[in-house]
Chain A
């Protein structure tokens, strides 16, 4: 009887545990059909590759499930992995067709379109005639700018703030029953109503190349763009995590275009071309009353003697003024302190 009772309660516990596991398991685990996290969930999983670089192979599930690729299977991008344990994986090709179906066209989704945009942009590896550009190896590839971006949902109830609006999702539930779908869809839409990165992150990513002295010199860029942006009010506000100030993309990408379609300032169609520059500041969301004169403000100043001698000497004037004022008075202060310690030690008196 006792044994029967024990078995019964054990059975109930087992069923309870099973149900608990089923209901509490993240539904996004479904993306890991290949059970890759069986190994990659361990924080210490790493190796040193043949080039001697340390590579961390750990995948943080919680973070991955907050990312825009949460529903993509590992094999969707790592197409060369066919067996487990697998050989060293090849670099991911972002332009492959993945298993996600794009709902508006009902075709398989691909980032391939971005490739054609990039090839016509200032960051293309080839020129307009299809020939490789000089130092084309310096031009960015997807992974130079992109990691696996996280969702940054926005709530629009009375005011705008980061996060999910339960007021909005409540209305979604009228028609859509699955919370998992509602939250993912909400994240997908509202994350794209603003930038996936804040202005500081954007500037830091651009600065990886544009503040690299060798690269700046090789491509005759004339200024360290990230550094000089950081010296402006916009850059400083971005550093303090303001989301309202313009970052690199707000000024360098034509309205209605993607960053992948950024054009050179020499291109007459570019917003940064000298004939169009005034439209940047006069943007309705920025300085609508700005005149073309305001666009002559040097956003990327590098006040060296060669490029901007007037500004250079102006800066030197203030440096000399500061040094010329502070050094003598600090000298007097120091002497004053010493003299007060020895008030009757004058040489004349000693004589």
Chain B
């Protein structure tokens, strides 16, 4: 029995001690996140206080129209992604084994790994005014095909990203139907319609709210797509308007008003999502196909084939266009250009730092959460600190990168050169942005290993650095490396904070790409998109491979 508290058993005491020693890195991470968001909010509040008339007089017709369009395009994107996504998922679940099914699933995983700016370029290269499909599409319109800038382009790009996501999430849900139910269906002789009505739809319906909410949220906070494909003030979302207020109109007060509105919107959405049990960042894992006994008939097979072929073409199109347009660019000249080389070096450097920081922050939170949970025992209630460690990584979903960037932008403006802190801002925000994914990669392995090793390590007196070197590192290196690669890919392709803070001095590849696109050097932009796309895909594939191998 230890000194002081006689009510604790020796075991509980040991657990409590263990918890105290390992929680401080988690506390520092929470402090970092609080500073990141707090600084941004402070910047916004100070600016609003200085200028409150301007900031709040902004709830005018124009702002309301922008907010309205933000919601409208998100609603349409959701509808166009979720319903076809469900059809695709059902077709895939009805045909658990056909040649090419695995490839189709991998194809649907690619958009999740592709930077938004690259996808936007692909959509332009395919459906744009001078795109590969411009000529056939001109047959549909009177005169020349006008291109897809505006709502059409935004919707196509959003569906390109979110249809495969919705399909994968629905497929996962459909695969939770126990194999016994399919056996029952086939023994009872249910036809396709009865199976849909009695088995599949009830299951899909339960996931409908969560999937729709997630897609809606992603489309409300979509920045790059709207920036590159919106094509004008008629199709602008709040995030793009914030960017324009800061970068083009130099109107911080207006940016504050817009930012606060965006913050209220995302806050409300996250709250609603949490209420309906939405899944924030559970991207799909390819699950094992359960054996299906109720085979679809001939007519249904033809319909399903058509659905899958159309979805595959739709997703494949922009990717093929990126490759084709990129190959047309003068890649050799591009690769030798000093601006490109410098941007690539900057991108890699920033991504490396962001990924390392993200991995360290995520590990500290995961480990602190586990220790706090272990210390409290199975029956105690989770304290605030533990809950913060549990959900702190998701903070970035409530406070989008552009909002954090805008807050710091208006804050730093008072004390010095905004563009000088660009690298710091990019590293910090991008590391926070990747945290939900990195936490998900390392947490299962960490918690499983900790529950196996904690007591043994304690009884042998292995602690501190020795423990990290001998016990934790061998188990965690794979998931950590996977999370690192994932965070790096995410940061490499990101065009959020850098759009606000970028300058001649600090350019990343996506920033350079946007600049070339803005100065109508489309071939250069396509070439850069191909290079960037290949880099992130390689990293994502590496992350997937290494994460799967246990």
Q: Do A and B actually bind? A: no
Report B's interface with A, CB cutoff 8 A.
none
Report A's interface with B, CB cutoff 8 A.
none
